[in-house]
Structure 1
């Protein structure tokens, strides 16, 4: 019950009148004095809160019931009503009361004028227990939620018979409440899911809840729907499990999304596998391509050397020979880059680090690029450091990287242009600046200039050839040394700049006294030997034999593995130059057969092949080869190796 106390006047009240009012009202009432001591208590208050009049009247409010009326903040509110004449209306508090447990009470209070003969104002406090009202309100809210929910909310007993059915269930399954209530829940379960219900009921009887169980159910029209079920036990007043409540949500769309995502992930995995396979095949193709490109280069280089050794050449012929030698060298350079970039992408490059003088590396890198600079009429200017700088590096790989940068700069600079190589010391790092006055790099190409197979200007009038791997290879080799490479350009026609930074191992303020990193190979004077040349490429075998005969050696030729073994037994060669990839019997097996022949253990076996990886070199050594040369071989290098092994004093 609520009380409206909106009178603004405070007429004097007699005590008899107050007692009459308190006795008449059938709701809990208290009359309090200015100190919040109970002056009067209604019978309804005594009955409702199970207290005696003697334990209530003339006691302070907060002491009642063993202190259960010591409600936080209540005294301050009531004192405010007394002092300011305000009205406390419909103030609800939740609080535990003695022998009552937690209750919700609604409080209304107003100040009363002092009774006749009293100078103190009094307070009328009306108390209404609205705990039941709150439960009813909660129940009404819950019922509203159930009615308005788009989820299907269903209750059933322990026999699986539907007891309640909301509008969401009707929208989900197509049955009205009249059609569904009283029917077994199994009418919603398709035949292949009928074993769901016994398992669910078993868990409900055990007091278990089921959270977000995804399954399939059947609509009134026979169509199937994917749902997520949450099932909870229902208890009666005594706490006994009497049934289950179910919340069913349509997850068809989310399941379709998950299925689509799963299919996309599967397609992505398949694409990854296909890409990995394509990458593997690409690597195999590049390795095979490089190998196959080496084979025709070998007879070409041999033939050029034969021509050069012939007498009475005109100046024109010598110029043509030099031009072809440059082109062969360029092809060898491209093949080497192709092999190395393929190995780097597969993590197969291992550096052979030594302490090496930077000036020596720079001189030999310049030697790599000088031919193309001379050919194009480009001036290559060097500025070496005065101090000696030593790096912890693989010298051949650094020469390759810097040679590629210089070669690239010369290639893209027109006749009469300039290429500069400057070296600067920056703390514990050294910077190598390769600058040119060439065609430059456009802003859109600059971010991708180090990517594999990316080339600069590909217009017909500016086509400079190449595979687009030199810069990528240079950057990778520098990074393997713990360094960096960056590129910059002001744009088309304004040149370009590449800066290499490398860590210094040590620096000495003394001139470079070391000789060249790789000694110049000179053709040695060697004795005549019996040499068997084995290669299924007839041009390569015959041209190499011609070169060896020009140097005074006796040669025989074999074009497959079986023929090589047979000739070795007859010819008794001192040296066998043996290709690995042979028909009928591969080079490794041929080597083993030759070693098994009488005197075969003294034969100098040299692998002469298009395969130059470390793995191939290790395998040839394990197979009993004394040396491993990669096609196209320099004739001087071959003769030097033979001399070192057979003509030692």
Structure 2
């Protein structure tokens, strides 16, 4: 029994030991599996963490260089490669494509000497977008030896056994580069690694596409900004040039008007005195006529500049066109009589007033009549007709002059155009008068047309103005000019006038005009001298030039207006100046002048203006 029991005991112990060993082996396998699972989970977590970080970076980065570096770093880390590279193409600023690259896991110096990979048998499929290439041992791959010119790994290259490459293609299908990874150990990259790299490449393509769109939008915005800046600079330069031009014209006007003022003023004063010798009278009339022509040339230049720059303004009011036509005819009658030209005027009594600027409308008629006189030979005829035609009023000027050639007729109203611009031309002028007529008539909502039978067939000009409608471009006329022809002479006895002008000729002319009207005159050659005189004298009116050295007329008048009433601070003042632009008039009025008058002066007009400022409007001895 004992032997049997011993055998059973041995058997039980053997079975128990085997069971224990089996249990131990199972436990050991379970623990290993747990460790393997844990390591796999940790690796998966690490990869997911890298991918999440990479996704966040790709979503937030718009800078292309930073983006491709982030992709290279993340993919190199995820694959376990020893080094990785991202070769990609960008548009060059000068045109064409440029290949760039980023590295991870190796210094840039390790690859600089090898240059960029070419589309060889090994690299070509990646650059052509033909899919992923994964090689366990690159030296054993048949494509490896075909890598000219080295036919293998170039000397000095980092050791590579495992190789993985994936193309990076945009949504459009365009391949912009490739991701390349290497490791000195063989068979490092797995199918799983390959799938991860493909996913990263797809994410990278989307991010790069977005970055490119952003760069293009930014570049377009920068270009628009540069264009706007260039446009602003060009506009600023144009404004500067326009200002210089305006200032030049103002200076030109001043310099031309100043001597004309003395010439025209003195000739008219001499003509207005007792009848001189016939030869002297003819000479004075010639001086006066040419001075007026010169003054009109200046006005034409300034008017055309105002029209072109849009600065001309109409002082719209009810206008009696009959009076306008008669005044214009009166102004050209002496020139017509000098050439024995017969002037005939026909005024329709049914014509009613129109709305317009009386000064500008008179300028229109005067320009047409002056042209007719200029181009009509001695002994010719000019007819002026004012008539109502339906809802318009027509002003017609017909002359028996040299006519207009058919080929020039379509250009008759163009600026600076003249039928004869040769050096032997018979008639002077700038070719601005008719252009100014057209512009002024159109500002009034009207039309002007010309007709001619050709050479020596005379000319007909018709201005048609609407009875009511007018473009109400309201504002002030640049100068205060009131026609006083036919007004009774005004005496200024008992009135003291302070005349301020640095030009002696101009100063003496104004003095003589006023002395002839019985005024008492005090003169000053500068603003400083005038202010000293005001300390001891109380003139009734001040007549001052604007352009003077040291202190100009604007500064002088502001100094006067700073004085008290007892010190003469409220003395009425006239700016008598060769600065005749609308802005000059506005500046004069803002400086304290009551009236702005442009040189050259009409003596009677100056006397009438002083009379109106002092309440003298009657006949002599009143």
Equivalent position of 1:209 in the other structure: 171
Deviation at 1:541, TM superposition (A): 0.6
Higher helix share: 2
Contact 2:322 2:386 (8 Å CA) reproduced: no
Answering whether residue 588 of structure 2 is matched by residue 625 of structure 1, we say: no
Residues in 2 aligned to 1:371 and 1:397: alpha-carbon distance in whole angstroms: 22
Residues in 1 aligned to 2:229 and 2:412: alpha-carbon distance in whole angstroms: 34
Residues in 2 aligned to 1:265 and 1:439: alpha-carbon distance in whole angstroms: 53
- 1:593-637 Cα offsets, whole Å, 9 max, x none, are 334164303533221112334433333333332332221222212
Deviation at 1:578, TM superposition (A): 0.8
Instruction: Tell me which of 580, 604, 619 is aligned to 2:572.
Output: 604
Instruction: Tell me which of 545, 551, 566 is aligned to 2:532.
Output: 566
Residues in 1 aligned to 2:611 and 2:244: alpha-carbon distance in whole angstroms: 41
Instruction: Tell me which of 311, 324, 330 is aligned to 2:287.
Output: 324
Equivalent position of 1:387 in the other structure: 350
Q: Which runs of 5+ in 1 are unaligned?
A: 1-157, 163-168, 187-203, 217-234, 248-257, 507-515
Distance 1:484 1:540, change over 3 A: same
Distance 1:606 1:180, change over 3 A: same
Contact 2:493 2:520 (8 Å CA) reproduced: no
- 1:61-117 Cα offsets, whole Å, 9 max, x none, are xxxxxxxxxxxxxxxxxxxxxxxxxxxxxxxxxxxxxxxxxxxxxxxxxxxxxxxxx
Instruction: Tell me which of 277, 297, 309 is aligned to 1:346.
Output: 309
Contact 1:299 1:541 (8 Å CA) reproduced: no
Equivalent position of 1:615 in the other structure: 583
Instruction: Tell me the secondary structure at the aligned position of residue 318 of structure 2.
Output: strand
- 1:429-460 Cα offsets, whole Å, 9 max, x none, are 22333233323333443333222222232234
Deviation at 1:538, TM superposition (A): 1.4
Instruction: Tell me which of 336, 340, 344 is aligned to 1:373.
Output: 336
1:262-277 superposed matches below 5 A: 277=240
Residues in 1 aligned to 2:604 and 2:264: alpha-carbon distance in whole angstroms: 12
Answering whether residue 488 of structure 2 is matched by residue 526 of structure 1, we say: no
Answering whether residue 449 of structure 2 is matched by residue 483 of structure 1, we say: no
Equivalent position of 1:289 in the other structure: 252
Instruction: Specify which structure has the bigger relative contact order, considering alpha-carbon pairs within 8 angstroms and separated by 6 or more residues.
Output: 2
Equivalent position of 2:612 in the other structure: 644
- 1:113-136 Cα offsets, whole Å, 9 max, x none, are xxxxxxxxxxxxxxxxxxxxxxxx
Distance 1:647 1:500, change over 3 A: closer
Equivalent position of 2:554 in the other structure: 588
Distance 1:160 1:395, change over 3 A: same
Instruction: Tell me which of 550, 561, 577 is aligned to 2:543.
Output: 577
Answering whether residue 380 of structure 2 is matched by residue 449 of structure 1, we say: no
Instruction: Tell me the secondary structure at the aligned position of residue 546 of structure 1.
Output: helix
Instruction: Tell me the secondary structure at the aligned position of residue 343 of structure 2.
Output: strand
Instruction: Tell me which of 596, 603, 617 is aligned to 1:635.
Output: 603
Contact 1:438 1:494 (8 Å CA) reproduced: yes
Distance 1:182 1:447, change over 3 A: same
Higher strand share: 1
After TM superposition, the score normalised by the length of structure 1 is 0.57
Deviation at 1:322, TM superposition (A): 2.0
Equivalent position of 1:181 in the other structure: 124
Distance 1:445 1:533, change over 3 A: same
Distance 1:592 1:501, change over 3 A: same
- 1:318-337 Cα offsets, whole Å, 9 max, x none, are 22222222222222222222
Deviation at 1:461, TM superposition (A): 4.2
Instruction: Tell me the secondary structure at the aligned position of residue 570 of structure 1.
Output: coil
1:4-403 superposed matches below 5 A: 178=121, 181=124, 209=171, 277-308=240-271, 311=274, 313-403=276-366
Instruction: Tell me the secondary structure at the aligned position of residue 500 of structure 1.
Output: strand
RMSD: 4.4
- 1:361-393 Cα offsets, whole Å, 9 max, x none, are 221222233333223333333333241232111
Instruction: Tell me the secondary structure at the aligned position of residue 431 of structure 2.
Output: coil
- 1:498-530 Cα offsets, whole Å, 9 max, x none, are 222210139xxxxxxxxx996623321231333
Contact 1:606 1:628 (8 Å CA) reproduced: yes
Contact 1:436 1:496 (8 Å CA) reproduced: yes
Residues in 1 aligned to 2:390 and 2:123: alpha-carbon distance in whole angstroms: 86
Residues in 2 aligned to 1:366 and 1:161: alpha-carbon distance in whole angstroms: 91
Answering whether residue 457 of structure 2 is matched by residue 494 of structure 1, we say: yes
Residues in 2 aligned to 1:179 and 1:421: alpha-carbon distance in whole angstroms: 98
Contact 1:291 1:611 (8 Å CA) reproduced: yes
Deviation at 1:283, TM superposition (A): 3.1
Residues in 2 aligned to 1:503 and 1:265: alpha-carbon distance in whole angstroms: 43
Distance 1:462 1:645, change over 3 A: same
Instruction: Tell me the secondary structure at the aligned position of residue 314 of structure 2.
Output: coil
Answering whether residue 433 of structure 2 is matched by residue 470 of structure 1, we say: yes
Residues in 1 aligned to 2:381 and 2:228: alpha-carbon distance in whole angstroms: 53
Residues in 2 aligned to 1:575 and 1:179: alpha-carbon distance in whole angstroms: 103
Contact 2:499 2:542 (8 Å CA) reproduced: yes
